[in-house]
Amino acid sequence: MTSAPHQSHLLIIEDDKGRREYTLDSPVYSIGRDPKCDIRLVSQFVSRRHATLVQLPNEDGSFYYRIVDGNLKGKASANGLLINGRKLQAHDLQDQDRIIFGPQVQAIYYLLKRDAITTVPPDEYDITLISPNMAEAPEGEEEDSSSSPSRPTRPAPGQG
């Protein structure tokens, strides 16, 4: 049995309020200074509706996010988006993309993937733990049953 690959989408925001982490799983996120935005940026240099994140499907059933400058009606932000050092209107986000919204306002996108997990029926592999005391002595080396467990032959430091 194999389960589908698992992925987590994270957006780490750094602005005048500090650093915050958002786990992305909704179809659309509004990003900006407006208190009604899903992801609020705290800075006077950010537009009220600075950008929009849109979830889009991959062929394998997973999804990715596209960031679009401004809102989905076509109104762009005043300062635009700088993604990995390039001014872009839209960009399909990839792991560790850096998005600059304005001076001292940025985000880093992380796509964390975990490969498919194969589950094994419980009895297919029997794991038996053996204590070292249960192990037999190698052939030709018989244990002296009269001797007690090994003890140091030298006195411990500070004792005699």
Q: What is the pLDDT of residues 106-118, one digit of tens each?
A: 999 999 987 655 5
Flag whether 130 is in a domain.
Answer: no
| CATH number, position 63 | 2.60.200.20
7 secondary structure, DSSP code: E
What is the model's pLDDT at position 51? 98
Does the residue 78 lie in any domain?
yes
- Would you say residue 121 lies in a domain? no
User: Using 50, 70 and 90 to split pLDDT, how confident is the model at 17?
Assistant: very high
| Average pLDDT of the segment spanning 80-106 | 97
Domain of residue 108, residue span = 6-114
pLDDT at 56: 97
CA separation for the pair 23, 69 (Å, rounded)? 20
Query: Domains in the chain: how many in total?
Result: 1
Length of the chain: 160
User: Confidence band (pLDDT; 50, 70, 90) for 28?
Assistant: very high
Cα 95 to the chain's mean position, in Å?
10
Backbone angles phi, psi at 128, to 5 degrees: -115, 125
Distance CA(25)–CA(31), nearest Å, equals 15
Q: Considering only residues 157 and 84, tell me which one the structure prediction assigns the higher pLDDT.
A: 84
